[in-house]
Structure 1
Amino acid sequence: MAEQTVRYERRGPVAVVTMNRPEYRNAQNSAMTYELDAAFYRAADDDEVKVVVLAGAGPHFSAGHDIGTPGRDADQSFDRRASLWWDHVGTSGGESRYARESEVYLGMCRRWRELPKPMIAMVQGACVAGGLMLAWCCDLIVASDDAFFADPVVRMGIPGVEYFAHPWVMPPRVAREFLYTGDRMPAARARELGWVNRVVPRDDLEAEALGLAERIAAMPRFGLALTKKAINQAEDLMGMRAGMDSVFGLHHLAHAHNAEVGGDSLGGQTAKSMAEGGR
Structure 2
Amino acid sequence: MDSQDPVVVTEPRPGVLLITLNRPHVRNAIDQTLADAMDQALIRMETDPSLAVGILAGTGGHFCSGMDLKAFPTDGVPVVADRGLAGLTRARLRKPLIAAVEGAAVAGGFELALACDLITAADTAFFALPEVARGLVAAEGGAVRLPGRLPYHVAMEMLLTGTPLPAPEAARYGLVNQLTREGEALQAALALADRVQAHSRDAVLVTKQIVRDTRGLDDHTAYAVQDPLSTPVFATAAAAEGAYAFTEKRPPAWHR
Report the TM-score when normalising by structure 1. Answer: 0.70
Deviations 1:120-140 (A, max 9, x none): 000000000000111011000
Contact 2:88 2:115 in 1 (8 A): no
How many Å apart are 1:199 and its aligned residue? 0.5
Structure 1 stretches lacking a partner, 5+ long: 84-102, 239-279
- What is the match of residue 57 of structure 1? 59
Deviation at 1:179, TM superposition (A): 1.8
Other-structure match for 2:129: 151
Equivalent residue of 2:61, what SS? coil
Residue 61 of structure 1 aligns to a residue whose secondary structure is coil
Letter of the 2:191 partner, please give it. Answer: G
Deviation per residue, 1:217-256 (Å, 9 max, x gap): 1111111111111111233538xxxxxxxxxxxxxxxxxx
Report what 2:81 is aligned to.
82
1:43 and 2:21 matched: no
Which whole-Å CA distance do the structure 2 matches of 1:81 and 1:57 have between them? Answer: 22
130, 151, 154: which is aligned to 1:174? Answer: 154
Residue of structure 2 aligned with 1:117, choices 95, 117, 120:
95
CA distance in 1, matches of 2:95, 2:88: 16
Q: In the superposition, relative to structure 1, how do residues 32 and 187 fare at CA in structure 2: closer, same or farther (>3 Å)?
A: same
Equivalent pair of 1:121/1:140 in contact (CA under 8 Å): yes
The match for 1:105 is 85
Q: For 2:46 and 2:88, how far apart are their aligned partners in 1?
A: 15
- 2:181 is equivalent to residue 197 of structure 1: no
Partner of 2:8: 6
CA distance in structure 2 between the partners assigned to 1:200 and 1:49 by the alignment? 25
How far apart, CA to CA, are the structure 1 residues paired with 2:52 and 2:23? Answer: 26
The Cα of 1:44 is off from its aligned counterpart by 0.8
Q: Distance in 2 between matches of 1:27 and 1:107?
A: 14
Letter in 1 for 2:185: L
Is 1:30 equivalent to 2:10 in the alignment?
Answer: no
Query: Could you tell me whether the CA contact under 8 Å between 1:144 and 1:200 is conserved in 2?
Result: yes
Relative to structure 2, which stretch is displaced further, 41-50 or 2-11?
Answer: 2-11
Residues 163-182 of structure 1, C-alpha deviation per residue, up to 9 Å, x if partnerless? 23121121211111112221
Instruction: Give deviations 1:156-199, integer Å, cap 9, x for gaps.
Output: 34343432312112121111111222111000111111111110
Deviation at 1:155, TM superposition (A): 1.4
String of CA shifts for 1:85-105, please: whole Å, max 9, x gaps. xxxxxxxxxxxxxxxxxx643
Aligned to 1:35, what secondary structure does the other structure show? helix
Partners of 2:35 and 2:186 in 1: CA distance: 23
Which one-letter code corresponds to 1:194 in the other structure? G
Percent of pairs identical after alignment?
A: 37
> Helix, strand or coil: the match of 1:17?
strand
Contact 1:55–1:122 (Cα < 8 Å) also in 2: yes
Q: Quick one: distance in 2 between partners of 1:237 and 1:22?
A: 41
